Chains A and B, each alone.
Chain A
Amino acid sequence: MSDVTFEAVSKGYGGNLVVKDLDFTIPGGQFTSILGPSGCGKTTLLRMLAGFMTPDTGEIRNGTAVLSTPGTMVPPEKRGMGMVFQQYAIWPHMNVFENVSFGLEMAQVPRHEIGSRVAEALETVGLGGYESRGSADLSGGQQQRLALARALVTRPSVLLLDEPLSNLDARLRERMRFELRELQQRTGITFVYVTHDQVEAMSMSDTIAIMRSGVIEQHGAPEELYNRPVSAFVIDFLGLNNWFDGTVVGMDGDRARVKVTSGATVTGTAAPGIAVDANVRVAVRPEDFVPTDRPAGQDNVLAGEVTQSLFMGSYLHHSVKVPGREDNVVVQTGRGARVQQGPINIWADPHLTHVVPASDL
């Protein structure tokens, strides 16, 4: 499977740039997610790749074959791709078999082969034996599977998925995550998965591209994004955080020592480009704060008071009032942790403390 490459691609509507001078390589044969809030340009990116939209500048290639430039377009039907739409786009006037066989007819697959290919595709998604069902009789989850079968039956080199799980209920969504991941690994097709749900992206992807206002903020493996975020946006998008404003007072390799406004000193892992005297923001996830016996005044130790503890089922959620700070610090502990109302010291591991430029967000 060859890589898909975007080179200096821009796209705008009426003077408003939705995708800005984008350079981006989607590794072939892998599961890549494009993750971002609504309006960040991720769907535009996907539609340009599908051939539904023409880029204003730049070039999109599959391997060495040019797919799109502002002047030339390989039409969607000649791209050898498949797509699963957010609303599934199941053709309501066709039954299950006809929905799946359509692509094979278009590809002029011999008639005697169509039946077995359709059956095989339906089997793959767990809809074996549903051939003669009307498409209106299917549940949301079944429509989802049908859309997948329809996209896979033509054996595309690239499968595009536009928030395909967002209309399913939570339980089904969780199961489909595993199935999609498994399907990708079995078929080796390049999956390009657009979503705004970080849990989906994290759990399925080989790599994730986080997109913001038309540019890709960071592209890497899920662990890399989680452990080495480059910006406040990336940290913020990947979950709840405690934020501290401050100034860098010392650097040691990629470690930054930061004096935060509430008075404490914190050491954390610095994003690229951080230097002494820089205004920065420091982020610590609730689950990365732990109750500690270390004395206040040591680096990364905050002294405060637990004002409220909530039982959340699999974990406990504590609000910690820290002097000199307006917002409470949120700390998450396991069910077994013995945290009581009243004074507490909490500590964050420097590895899990992220220092990013303040300019951003």
Chain B
Amino acid sequence: MTPLVAPRRRTTAGSKLPLWGLIAGLSLLVGYPSLWLLLTAFELPEQFSVRAFTDFVGDDSLVRPTLNTVVLGVLTAIGTVLVGVPLAWYTAVTDGPFRRFVHLAVLATYITPPYLTAIAFTLLLSPEAGILNVLSRRMGGPSFDVYSMAGLVLVVTLHVCSFCYLLVHDALKRIDAPLIEAARTLQAGPWQVLRRILLPLVAPAVTGGALLAGILAMTEFGPQAVLGTPGGLTFLPTRIVSSLGGYPPRWADMAVLALILVVFAAVGLVAQRRALGKQSFITVTGRGVRPIRFSLGRARWPAAIAAVGFATVATVLPFGVLVSGAFARDWTTLVSPGNFTLENFRAAFVEDEVTGSAVLNSAGLAAAAATICVVIALAVAYFGHRTTQRFRDLPDYLAAVPLGLPATVLAFGLLLAVTNPPFQFLYGTLGLLLVLYVVRFLPLATRTMNSGASQLSGELELAARITGASWWQATRRISLPLIWPTVVAAWLLVLMPASNELGGTVVLYASGTETISIAIIRLNDLGQFGPVAALAVAVISALLLISGLAQWITTRRASPDRRTR
């Protein structure tokens, strides 16, 4: 039974082309906008000048946003630790009630786009008409101005604390109970156990989470625009965006601001990686860990009230006020049968001339960006996991670069790139927004796809080959069906943020290419809070639906189906 097939000539030269094509394409997508940022900061190519760098120090309109950004980042990082760590401790290792509800509530805070959280809190806490402020004044209490640094820190903390929470939660869950018991047998009291064993074990997770929260606070445009701008506070992203329409254009100065923000983000990310890298010593294999469990005793109910109270403030209150505002005739009072109306939805979706096309634009852009990201991520994962060529990991590194490019910065780089040849045809088009979304969300797709691909042994495909399947048959019958749930999950994971991107879109949109986020911000600026709430409710509902779908798909992936013939 010797094979009678004539040996096939191997084509070695051609097989390197796809990898290099991918590397070239990714380099262009990631590198070209960054290159223009650098060129512009030095006023190249017209001339070479470091004026923008030297002028920076003396110009209060540039220094102040920078300082504000740092303050916001630091305060949010601290706030995140103060909120996230106790919550993680409560849900991960105590016997307190409602742990599941608190856990889901904290995770849900991240589904709501940050600009919508900010808008919800203006409805609650704007100094004059905010529902909570009105309530407080009626009872003789003080009112809180949400258009302030404190307000901004509060809102952003509520939005980003889920990262710190999740990291610490996982770290605590991974601690094997015998680690604590060993300390107890050596006469360590509860306080010493906490200080000498538990805190050192979760410290990397706390640091990592705080740094990530800080970076997000500094780079997220939405809350800064919704809450900072009315309060007279400017930050790096809002400063860059507000200068776009100005005259004379201060491209070089803004490019310098953008670079400063990139440095903040990059330094923060590197520090975060370092911190989480130190965690490896507790990442024993997942199996065989008996999680620690603390009995709260008499503190059980006070702790529960605090945790559930937070969950309510973070999720129920903002979403509730948006729902109320969406269905009430007057957003300053809560919805009631006598107050109920669908007028806000009509105003938002029918009367407004932008919203209709904005919804279509957002849906189309998000779907297209998700599809392109997933295709690229599939290619990246294929080369990284299934080939042995040199530089096979390079695409993965390139695809991770946008993590260090805040949306506003990336969009500003793209704007500079398309106002110069040869890409001017993209200026003001949906295509430009598509490029922005693809680059921005590519890391999300590659990370998901990589983790999916790494769980798929290459031997599954080889087993098909040796059993008589050609490369294509093995791919179609074995690899694609097995990776498919990951593909869908990655697609949905990109779809969600892409359908709501604001910080970069605000730089690049033009008349006719508005997205839903732009439409909402525009109505918000016009003070049309009823329609804004209606749109917000629609958007958040859609996002909840998609994330539920993604959740369902990923958990189903864990248990392979048991089809019978």
- Chain A interface residues toward B at CB < 8 A: 2, 13-14, 50-52, 54, 62-69, 71-83, 85-87, 89, 91-93, 95, 97-98, 102-103, 106-107, 131-132, 134-137, 147, 150-151, 154-157, 160
Contacts and interface: CB of A to CB of B under 8 A. Distances in A.
Given A50-B462, A80-B2, A132 B468 contact: no
B38 to A, nearest CB: 34
A135 B460 CA distance: 13
B100 to A, nearest CB: 27
Interface in B439-474: 457, 459-460, 462-471, 473
User: Which 6 residue pairs of A and B lie closest in terms of their CB atoms, listed nearest first?
Assistant: A134-B562, A106-B468, A72-B7, A103-B467, A89-B459, A157-B1
Contact of A103 (B7, B468, B478): B468
A85 B2 contact: no
A77 B1 contact: no
A277 B470 CA distance: 60
Given A66-B7, A72-B7, A80-B2, A91 B463 contact: yes
Question: Which of B466, B478, B481 is most buried by chain A, counting CB atoms within 10 A of its CB?
Answer: B466
Given A71-B10, A93-B482, A103-B467, A134 B563 contact: yes
B464 A102 contact: yes
B560 A151 contact: no
Contacts of A64: 2
Interface residues of B, number: 36
A86 B564 CA distance: 26
Contacts of B562: 95, 134, 136-137
B10 A76 contact: no
A54 B467 CA distance: 19
Given A73-B7, A78-B3, A106 B469 contact: yes
A2 B2 contact: yes
A77 B466 contact: yes
Given A62-B3, A102-B477, A136-B560, A107 B463 contact: no
A93 B560 contact: yes
A93 B565 contact: no
A12 to B, nearest CB: 12
A16 to B, nearest CB: 13
Nearest to B5: A78
Nearest to B481: A93
14 contacts: A50-B466, A65-B4, A72-B10, A78-B5, A92-B560, A95-B565, A98-B565, A106-B464, A106-B468, A106-B469, A107-B468, A134-B562, A136-B559, A136-B562
Interface in B513-565: 559-565
A63 B560 CA distance: 42
A63 B8 CA distance: 18
Contacts of A71: 9-10
A66 B464 CA distance: 22
Contact of B565 (A82, A89, A132): A132
Nearest to B4: A65
B478 A91 contact: yes
B343 to A, nearest CB: 51
Nearest to A84: B463
A150 B464 CA distance: 10
A92 B565 CA distance: 15
Contacts of B464: 91, 102, 106
A77 B7 contact: no
Nearest to B456: A92
B459 A85 contact: yes
Interface string B336-361: 00000000000000000000000000
B2 A77 contact: no
Contacts of A91: 460, 463-464, 478, 482
Contact of B8 (A75, A82, A156): A75
B461 to A, nearest CB: 9
Given A91-B478, A95-B564, A147-B463, 20 more contacts: A2-B2, A67-B7, A72-B8, A76-B466, A78-B5, A82-B467, A86-B459, A87-B457, A89-B462, A91-B460, A91-B464, A92-B482, A93-B481, A95-B565, A98-B565, A102-B467, A135-B560, A136-B559, A155-B1, A157-B1
Contacts of A157: 1-2
A72 B9 contact: yes
Nearest to A53: B388
Given A87-B459, A92-B482, A134-B560, A74 B467 contact: no
Interface in B140-171: none
Contacts of A150: 463, 467
A121 to B, nearest CB: 12
A68 B561 CA distance: 39
A120 B482 CA distance: 28
Given A62-B2, A134-B563, A77 B10 contact: no
A100 to B, nearest CB: 9
Contacts of B2: 2, 62-65, 80, 157
A95 B463 contact: no
A150 B467 CA distance: 8
A134 B564 CA distance: 7
Contact of A76 (B9, B388, B462): B462
B456 to A, nearest CB: 9
